Amino acid sequence: MIAQKLKLIEDWTIYSCDYQLIMKILVQTATILGTEQNLKIDVRIFGGAIRDPLNGFPPNDIDVTIEGVDKMIFLNKMCNLYPDILGNFVDMKIRNKLQANEATLHIGTKLGIDLDISNCLKYSQYYRENLLKRDFNINTLSLNLNSMKIEDTLNVTNEIEKRILKTTRLADLEFTEEPNTILRAIRFIHKYNLTFCDENNNQSSKIKEYSFKVSELCQATILSEIRKAVKNQYPGKYFQLLNEYKILEYVFPGIPWNLDNLFNIPEIVRDKGLVFSYLLTKCISEENYDLSSPIYKKAGFTKHEIEFATVAKQITHLIQHYQKDFLVIEVAKLLKKKGIKIIEQSLFLVDESTENYFLITIKEYDLYNRVFNNSLLMELKFVHYVIDLQENGFKMH
C-alpha cells in the first residue's frame, strides 16, 4: 500500500493542480538560477507534503529545503520569475518581516498554499545531517523535485508501513531538549493513527514519562499546537490521548474538566471551527463553572471564545427558567445587547434542538435587520417566530 502511494507522490498525481503548479515553480526556479550562477541546486519537499498524502490527507502547505544556494537568493529569483503567484519580493520582505538569518521563511502564495522554505545550512550544509535533526521518522522522507524521486535516507519506509512513530534520535534526548515534540507526537498519533515506539520498535511509554516537560513551554506554543490538532477528525479522541499520556493537566492547568463531554466532542463542532468555544460551554464541570476565572484567559482562550460560551450559558438558563412570553423578551434583549453574530455562534453551542432551526432563522433575522432597521418590535416578532418553529417541531435537513 505505501509503495503505491509513494509512486503517486513521485509522479505528483496525488497532489492538486495548484499544488503541482507550486512544485513546478520550485523546480524551474532551481533550474534557471542554477544555470545562471553555475550551481547545483536541489529542491526537496518534506513534512506534511509527504506524510499527509501517505496517510490519505490532502497537504495544507509545502515544506521546502533548498540545497546549494541561500534561501533568500532563491526566493528573490522565484518572486521575479513568478510575480503573479508569489508577489513582489521587496513587498514580501516587508510584509513578512523576513530576515536572512531566519531558520525558515513562511511565504504565502496567491493560490492559498503556503511555503515554508529552509536552508540545509540551518543545521548542516549536507542533507543527511539535516535529516538527523528532524523530530520523527515520518518527517525524514522527502521528495527530490529535481529527480522526482522519494528519498528514504534513514530507511524508515518499513516503520511507516507498520504505522510506527519514532523520534530520529533517542526519545529521552528529544523530549528533554525539545518538549514541543511531545505535543507533536500526540497530534500525529491522533491524526494518523500511529503507535509510538522506541529505537527497537517496541511500544514506548517515553511520552508519558516526559509529559511534565510540556509545562516548560509557553502557553502560546501549547495553544498553537492544540489548535492545529483539533482541526483534525474526532477532537474528543485527541483530548482523550492528552489525558491518557498525562499531558492534559500541563496544557490546561487548573481547569475543572467534565471528562465525559471532553472526550465526546461532536464532529459538527469541529466542522464549524467552534471546538474551543464548545470546551468552555459543555466541557467544564458544572459545580466549578465560572468563566470569569483568570485560569481561562491564562490557558489561552480568546475573549470571543469566552463570550460565546458565556452567552450560550445565558441562553440555556433562559430556556430552562422562563416561560414563553418572558423568554421572548429576554432573548430579544440579549439579541439587542450582543448582536446577531455572537448569538449565531452561541445558539449553536446550546443544544441540538437549537441547532436544528437557528441556521434558517438567522437568515430571516438578517432580512428583518435590513427592512425594519433592527427595531426591538421586529426582534420580538423574530423571537416569537423562532419559538413557534421550535414548538412545531421544525427541523433542518
Region 43-47: what's the mean pLDDT?
94
- Quick one: pLDDT at residue 386? 58
Residue 339 confidence (pLDDT) above 80:
no
Architecture of domain 1-156: 2-Layer Sandwich (3.30)
Question: What is the DSSP annotation of 88-107?
Answer: -HHHHHHHHT--TT-SEEEE
pLDDT in tens, 66-115: 989 988 899 889 999 999 998 766 556 545 555 545 567 788 888 989 88
DSSP designation for 284:
B
Classify residue 392 as exposed, middle or buried by CB count within 10 Å of its CB (0-12, 13-18, 19+): exposed
Residue 385 confidence (pLDDT) above 70:
no
Mean pLDDT taken over the chain: 83
Region 49-72: what's the mean pLDDT?
92
pLDDT in tens, 209-258: 999 999 999 999 999 999 999 999 999 999 999 999 999 999 999 999 99
C-beta of residue 196 within 8 angstroms of C-beta of residue 190: no
C-alpha cell at 107: 511565504
pLDDT in tens, 115-169: 888 876 444 445 666 677 789 999 999 999 999 999 998 899 999 999 999 999 9
Percent of the chain at pLDDT > 90 equals 52
Give the CATH fold of the 163-251 domain: Hydrophobic Seed Protein (1.10.110)
> Where in the chain are the domains?
1-156, 163-251, 268-371
C-alpha cell at 33: 538560477
Region 326-354: what's the mean pLDDT?
66
- Quick one: pLDDT at residue 134? 86
Q: According to the per-residue pLDDT averaged within each range, which of 60-69, 179-188, 329-338 is highest?
A: 179-188
Task: State how far the alpha carbon of 79 is from the alpha carbons of 82, 87, 158, in Å.
Answer: 5, 6, 39
Nearest to 243 by CA among 231, 255, 227: 255
Residue 47 confidence (pLDDT) above 90:
yes
Euclidean distance between CA atoms 368 and 375, whole angstroms = 9
User: pLDDT class for 17, splitting at 50, 70, 90?
Assistant: very high
The SS3 assignment for 271 reads helix
Euclidean distance between CA atoms 175 and 152, whole angstroms = 24
C-beta of residue 206 within 8 angstroms of C-beta of residue 172: yes
Nearest to 232 by CA among 60, 61, 17: 60
Q: Which residue has the cell 466541557?
A: 283
pTM of the model: 0.82
DSSP designation for 324:
H
Euclidean distance between CA atoms 21 and 23, whole angstroms = 5
